[in-house]
Amino acid sequence: MNCIWITTDSFRQDHVHCYRPEGTLDDTGRSIPVQTPGMDRLAREGVTFTHMRAEALPTIPCRRGIFTGRRVFPWKDEPRRKGVHPDFPGWRPLPEEDVTVAEHLSAQGYVTSIVADAYHIWKPAMNLHRGFDGFHWVRGQEFDRWRTQPLPDGYIGQFVKPGIGRTAHRDRVLTQFLRNHVGVEREGDMPVARTFQYAIEWLEANRAHENFFLYIDTFSPHEPWLPPQEYLSLYDDPAYDGPRLIYANMYGRADLSDAEHQHVRARYAAMCTMVDRWIGRLLEAVDRLDLRERTLIVLMSDHGKIIGEFGHYGMPQQDTGTALNAVPCFIRHPTGENAGRPFTGWFYNIDLTATVMSLLGVAPKQDITGRDVWPAVSSGADEFRDHLVTAYGNMVSVWQDDWLYLLDTNTGKAALYNLTEDVHRKHDVADRHPSVRDELAKKADAAMRA
């Protein structure tokens, strides 16, 4: 059996139609029904997981987990490496002693390849492509140090709101992104399009292999958000005549007018639809190449995105909750097994790795700490793990039933939220439910000591 694994970056679950046909969960403006026919197809033809969480965030810690099937949290005292940025817990190269999925599958006779525009994977001192037989880096996302030419005088002005103080770091990110995108006018020239187009070409050239593992990783819909007008017009107010705010991380919600904020939300929704369209094109290629009946399809995102919630844009650690952590996740089995089934049990990204290894039928990967969720799915149960303990920097979270417990390990401050009654995480109810708070605090402590 072949496997195509797709990872997106920063894709909120509520921006996928099959999860939220009524529209997004934002409490900062009107709900937006986002068009995602590609993922909707996966929901019909595969299993839709509602409660998958990355056990370690952000980008690199999450990928370390899925590349090895091993927990990255609790954080280890790993020395900083030259060329590794940002300096963040878990944001380190793969340890030498870890065996990657690519290494394991190659030893089982698989042809393995990675196609990615998620530039953090490829930075100097990183080695996340270790073990792949082939690798292809698509350049140009965000702060990818690719192009170096100066921008035309005044060019950046159309993308920023005048009169608002900006940090040097945010200016550098926006400047590099714009350098990378000068002259990019067609959808096909954008990194996400080039990533999926190369993946399709790889499938065309490699479909004759007995078994292959193709890993696709796009940094989209991560900001900055510069979608083609075709997509933006689906969601933006046609009367909007303000600046093209493609990088809202430069601002707080209070810095933007309601019209500017809605424009930002429209840009993100447009990027989600564009990413989904390329997912759909890949699925069409799988059909066209007669690969469907022997290819497992996996899709997930690492995390969501804060778009005005808590007064922020981006992904601050303290904003851990539904908007930041709930993501799309699907498995489509080539035989159609469990097609159309939703699964609501809690499980980790590393469990997804374990599940794929099991479904492919290869020799067990001995050092894996994730667990195979497929037997639970096939049994008709809606339970898997009793609870999850996840981490993002100094924020440790416990997810159980309707509850979210948050602990700031720097300050010791803790909070408790009921996400069914308070999906936007506005009301700390720790004092009203001390027994729940104390129970989840013990689980957080046990995980940190593991």
**Contact indicator for 305, 323 with CB cutoff of 8 Å:** yes
pLDDT at 165 over 80: no
Answer yes or no: do 294 and 362 share one domain: yes
| pLDDT number for residue 124 | 85
Mean pLDDT of 2-8: 99
Confidence bin at 81 (pLDDT 50/70/90): confident
Residue with tokens 């394991």: 104
326 vs 324: CA distance, rounded Å: 6
Answer yes or no: do 381 and 448 share one domain: no
Answer yes or no: do 73 and 156 share one domain: yes
282 vs 214: CA distance, rounded Å: 12
Stated as kind and residue range, the H or E segment containing 299 is strand 295-301
Q: At what angle do helices 191-206 and 258-288 cross, to 10 degrees?
A: 10
Q: At what angle do helices 349-360 and 59-68 cross, to 10 degrees?
A: 30
Stated as kind and residue range, the H or E segment containing 396 is strand 395-400
Task: Out of 369, 386, 403, pick the residue that ends a domain.
Answer: 386
How many other C-beta atoms can be found within 10 angstroms of the C-beta atom of residue 258?
A: 10
234 vs 135: CA distance, rounded Å: 35
| pLDDT number for residue 396 | 98
| pLDDT number for residue 26 | 86
Q: Where are the alpha helices (DSSP H) in 233-348?
A: 258-288, 322-325
Confidence bin at 28 (pLDDT 50/70/90): confident
Mean pLDDT of 372-381: 97
pLDDT at 352 over 90: yes
> DSSP code of 386?
S
| pLDDT number for residue 166 | 81
Answer yes or no: do 403 and 382 share one domain: no
| pLDDT number for residue 423 | 97
| pLDDT number for residue 136 | 98
339 vs 326: CA distance, rounded Å: 22
Residue with tokens 């899709």: 299
SS3 229: helix
Answer yes or no: do 299 and 403 share one domain: no
Mean pLDDT of 228-237: 98
Question: Which residues pair with residue 322 across a beta bridge?
Answer: none
Question: How many domains does one find in the chain?
Answer: 2
**Contact indicator for 71, 385 with CB cutoff of 8 Å:** no
Q: Where are the alpha helices (DSSP H) in 120-257?
A: 168-181, 191-206, 229-232
For the question of whether the overall pTM of this predicted structure is more than 0.95, the answer is yes
pLDDT at 60 over 90: yes
pLDDT at 328 over 80: yes
Which pLDDT tens digit goes with each residue over 280-310?
999 999 999 999 999 999 999 999 999 999 9
Which pLDDT tens digit goes with each residue over 260-275?
999 999 999 999 999 9
Answer yes or no: do 360 and 436 share one domain: no
Answer yes or no: do 375 and 410 share one domain: no
Domain that holds residue 85: 2-386
| pLDDT number for residue 177 | 98
CATH number for the domain spanning 421: value is 3.30.1120.10
Confidence bin at 86 (pLDDT 50/70/90): confident
| pLDDT number for residue 331 | 99
Residue 50 gets the label, from left (phi > 0), alpha (psi -120 to 50) or beta, of alpha
pLDDT at 160 over 80: yes
422 vs 191: CA distance, rounded Å: 37
**Contact indicator for 58, 297 with CB cutoff of 8 Å:** no
Q: Which amino acid is at 430?
A: A
| pLDDT number for residue 193 | 98
pLDDT at 336 over 80: yes
Mean pLDDT of 54-73: 98
43 vs 35: CA distance, rounded Å: 14
| pLDDT number for residue 221 | 98
Answer yes or no: do 256 and 142 share one domain: yes
Task: Out of 337, 355, 386, pick the residue that ends a domain.
Answer: 386
Helix (H) and strand (E) counts for the chain? 11, 17
30 vs 274: CA distance, rounded Å: 21
Confidence bin at 164 (pLDDT 50/70/90): confident
Answer yes or no: do 321 and 433 share one domain: no
197 vs 204: CA distance, rounded Å: 11
pLDDT at 368 over 90: yes
Answer yes or no: do 41 and 173 share one domain: yes
Answer yes or no: do 432 and 381 share one domain: no
347 vs 279: CA distance, rounded Å: 24
| pLDDT number for residue 358 | 98
Distances (CA, A) of 186 to 178, 183, 227, 285, 416: 15, 9, 10, 21, 47
357 vs 363: CA distance, rounded Å: 8
User: Is the preceding peptide bond at 74 cis, omega within 30 degrees of 0?
Assistant: yes
Task: Out of 337, 368, 386, pick the residue that ends a domain.
Answer: 386
SS3 144: coil
Give the contacts of 287 (CB within 8 A, at least 6 positions apart): none
**Contact indicator for 115, 201 with CB cutoff of 8 Å:** no
Average pLDDT, the chain: 96
Answer yes or no: do 302 and 409 share one domain: no
Distances (CA, A) of 275 to 243, 272, 300: 24, 5, 13
